Chain A
Amino acid sequence: MRRRNVLPGLPLSLGVTLFYVGLIVVLPLAALVIKAASLGPEDYWRIVSSSRALASYRVTVLSALGATVFNLFFGLSLAWVITRYRFPGRRIIDAMVDLPFALPTAVAGIALTALFANNGWFGSVLEGYGIKVAYTPLGIMIAMCFTSLPFIVRTVQPVLEDLDPALEEAAQSLGGSDWTIFTKVILPLLAPALLAGLSLSFARSLGEFGAIIFIAGNQPMSTEITALLIFIRLEEYDYQAAAAIASVLLLAAFTMLAVTNWLQSRALRYTVKG
């Protein structure tokens, strides 16, 4: 099966890559893991499973889940509208999807806080209905929604664009309703891309800091995200605890990425075959 590779440049390109990744990515993360490991299993476990740390994981994971589910519907609708319909302003909407990628998270954070604080444009209206956003878990969710929205749109969009109309026509000629065709034909085709987008969006939400710190109430046990807890442990000079909790986030990120890559390789296999 495997051909002999005649292309040049493996030593150079791989050398540069490994050197750079080693220096910039692996070295600091290894230092972090070493620091965390210096704790010993018992202390490590006590720190990462303390009630406050557990509460912070819960806040972070639940908010990220909420944001991802919202983005599943919003992102899918957005991708659908952009690719399937023609209407004035479509191109602008298409372009705006990347804004959360390009806008610094700290800027997004202060802007969202200004909007959703109870004296802000949205906050003052919502307060009339008894809904508080800023300084509650809902605010964390909104910040996460904002920063991770483009992932779903941009992973689903190309697949949606390349969808073969013949498939739909065939299903239509067999008398399937739009809803049936969507759930039985289109959705399965989108599924790998959608899943990849969801896991990226989720991973990004787990790690978000800049946007959330401004809008979250930062209350221990209720609106304190894990990244903030690391920050606080650092401020208390408790480096090892900071490293321990950071290692949990690192593991989560690593797992999410592995899952994403696996999903993507499945998606690739699938589409190449088709």
Chain B
Amino acid sequence: MNRLLILGTALAALFVQPAFAQEQKLLNASYDVARELFVAENAAFVKAHPGVTIDQSHAGTSKQARSIVEGLEADVVTFNQSTDVDFLAKQGFVAADWNKAFPNNASPFYSFPAFLVRAGNPKNIKDWGDLARDDVHAIFPNPKTSGNARYTYLAATAWAKEEYKDDAEKIEAYITKIFDNVPVFDTGGRAATTTFVERGQGDVLITFEAETRGIEKQFGKDKVENVIPSVSLLAEFPVAVVDKVAKKHGTEALAKTYLEFLYTEEGQKIAAEFGHRVHNEKVAAEFKSQFPEIRLVKVDDVFGGWSKIQSEHFASGGTLDKLYGSR
């Protein structure tokens, strides 16, 4: 019995965590493929603010948002789609006008879905139209669980809208074709990368340009290469302070400083080094040669905003479910 008592006490000690504030500490809940980026950003930030620790958590942003609502105490979020921040706002964790709190729609950098093909581009994949060819198998994660793949789906739709002059039937046929040819649906962006690169599945990986550049760097141009389509969809990477948690932790000021740091020249430079396009003019000019020109369309212009997209495309019974159902 004694043993049980001791165990019980030990357990109790574990469950009740000290409530007093220790050193300044932030938890950044972020999207799946941002791991390396934030390792670098955090190191730079900590260097400028000694005594601060930044913890990282990475997963699909929908999972992250859900975890925060269930009790994951993240002080800030750095997501890859605004719907998940909106979800947090609706639940009262983030201010309703969060996208006014920081410049550029609270998005310190941006990117867009681009292609990564095997070295030499053996299937000659140049643009969105090629994805619907019979001999092309595209790899991207499940749009239901991955923000990354939502952009892919929307970018392909945006291209089709222009190409087929809003002919709904043709657009649907095109998207259906792409989905039918996807051999593996992973749950997150990184799992899809592994499937494409390490497991040799598919002919083209579709993910953020930032990611395709990173993969190219990581695995070498003799294995994979980056292809920029004719047009793509602007992907903003919204950031926000999770007010409810930050207030509890007393980290509101620090959280704000941290997110502001992402907008500084230093923060922007790191983002650019990891393949993100940035707004800071000086840094953008410096990395100009790395980033070819591309025409980017906006979610609001093409689809009329995220909430409309959510109900038309991604909600249960929406376009996406019909696509799955068609298989």
Please tell me which stretch of B33-41, B60-68, B151-159, B244-252 contacts chain A, meaning at least 4 of its Cβ atoms lie within 8 angstroms of it: B60-68
Residue of B201, B316, B327 near A222 (CB, 8 A) is B327
Could you tell me if A238 and B62 are in contact, using CB atoms closer than 8 angstroms? no
Q: Taking the nearest CB of chain A, how far is it from the CB of B264, in angstroms? A: 33
Q: What 6 pairs across the A-B complex have the smallest Cβ distances?
A: A220-B324, A117-B199, A119-B200, A235-B145, A217-B184, A218-B185
A118 in the interface (beta carbon within 8 A): yes
What chain A residues lie within 8 Å of B327 (beta carbons)? 219-222
Q: Inside 8 A of A217's CB, which chain B residues have their CB?
A: 183-185
Shortest Cβ distance from A116 into B: residue = B199
- The answer on a CB contact under 8 Å between A232 and B145 is yes
Residues of A within 8 A of B195 (CB): 135
B143 to chain A, nearest CB (A): 11
Establish whether residues A220 and B316, one from each chain, have CB atoms under 8 Å apart when the complex forms: no
Within B20-54, the residues touching A (CB, 8 Å) are none
The 11 sampled A-B contact pairs (Cβ below 8 Å) are A118-B199, A135-B183, A135-B195, A218-B184, A219-B183, A220-B185, A232-B187, A235-B145, A236-B144, A236-B145, A237-B65
Interface of B is mostly: loop
Interface residues of A in 81-131 (CB under 8 A from B): 113, 117-120
| Interface residue tally on B, bucketed by range | 20 to 34
**A58 contacts partner chain B, Cβ-Cβ < 8 Å:** no
Measured CB to CB, the nearest residue on chain B to A238 is: B316
Chain A 154-198 per-residue mask, 1 if CB under 8 angstroms from chain B, else 0:
000000000000000000000000000000000000000000000
B159-180 at interface with A (beta carbon < 8 Å):
none
B-side contacts of A232, CB under 8 Å: 142, 144-145, 187
Chain A CB within 8 A of B186 CB = yes
- The listed residue (B65, B142, B198) touching A218 by CB distance below 8 A is B142
Are B62 and A235 within 8 A (Cβ)? yes
Contact A219 B182 (CB under 8 A): yes
- Nearest residue (CB) in A for B84 is A237
Alpha-carbon separation in the docked complex, A228 to B185 (Å) = 11
User: Using Cβ atoms and an 8 Å threshold, which residues of chain A touch B185?
Assistant: 217-220, 224
**B325 interface contact, C-beta 8 A:** yes
Shortest Cβ distance from residue A9 to the other chain B in the assembled complex, whole angstroms: 12
> Does the CB pair A237–B186 fall under 8 Å?
no
Return the chain A residue nearest B145 by Cβ.
A235
Task: Choose among A231, A234, A235, A237 the residue with the greatest number of B CB atoms under 10 Å from its CB.
Answer: A235
Partner-B contacts on A (CB < 8 A): 51-52, 113, 117-120, 134-135, 213, 217-222, 224, 228, 231-232, 234-238, 241
**Cα distance A234–B182 in the bound complex, in angstroms:** 23
A245, B190: Cα distance in complex, Å: 27
Residue of A nearest to B316 (CB): A238
Judged by a CB distance under 8 angstroms, whether B98 is at the interface is no
Asked if B261 is at the interface (CB within 8 A of a chain A CB), the reply is no
Residue of B nearest to A241 (CB): B316
How many residue pairs between the two chains, A and B, have CB atoms under 8 Å in the bound complex? 69
Q: Within B293-327, which residues are at the interface with A (CB < 8 Å)?
A: 316, 321, 324-325, 327
Instruction: Tell whether, in the assembled complex, residue A231 and residue B187 are in contact, meaning their CB atoms are under 8 Å apart.
Output: yes
Once bound together, how far apart are the Cα atoms of A208 and B280, in whole Å?
49
Q: Verify A235–B325 contact, CB threshold 8 A.
A: no
A236 to chain B: closest residue by CB: B144
Q: Is the CB of A237 within 8 A of B62?
A: yes
Q: Is B87 an interface position by the 8 A CB rule? A: yes
Contact B62 A113 (CB under 8 A): no
**Contact, CB under 8 Å: A235 / B183:** no
A231 partner residues in chain B, CB cutoff 8 A: 145, 187
Q: With A117-B200, A217-B184, A218-B185 in contact, do A237 and B87 touch (Cβ < 8 Å)?
A: yes
Chain B 198-233 per-residue mask, 1 if CB under 8 angstroms from chain A, else 0: 111100000000000000000000000000000000
Closest to B146 in A: A235
Are B199 and A113 interface neighbours, CB within 8 A? yes
Q: Is the CB of B199 within 8 A of A134?
A: yes
Task: Using CB atoms, name the residue of chain B closest to A231.
Answer: B187
CB of B144 within 8 A of CB of A235, answer yes
Complex contact B199–A218 (CB within 8 A)? no
Give the residue name and chain of the B residue nearest to A120 (CB): B199
Contacts of A220 in B (CB 8 A): 142, 185, 324, 327
Chain A residues with CB under 8 Å of B321's CB are: 52
Write out the residue numbers on chain A whose beta carbons fall within 8 Å of the beta carbon of B66: 234-235, 237
**A221 with B62: CB separation less than 8 A:** no
Q: Digitize B133-147: 1 where CB-to-A-CB distance is under 8 Å, 0 elsewhere.
A: 000000000101100
Asked if A218 contacts B325 (CB within 8 A), the reply is: no
Question: A102 vs B324: C-alpha distance in the bound complex, in angstroms?
Answer: 37
Contact B60 A235 (CB under 8 A): yes
**Which of B63-121 touch A at CB < 8 Å?**
63, 65-66, 87
Closest chain A residue, CB of each to CB of B327: A221
Chain A residues in 8 Å Cβ range of B324: 52, 220-221
A230 to B: closest C-beta gap in Å: 12
Contacts A120-B199, A219-B183 given; 18 further ones with Cβ under 8 A? A52-B321, A52-B325, A135-B201, A213-B187, A217-B185, A218-B185, A218-B186, A219-B185, A220-B142, A221-B324, A221-B327, A224-B185, A232-B145, A234-B63, A235-B145, A235-B187, A237-B87, A241-B316
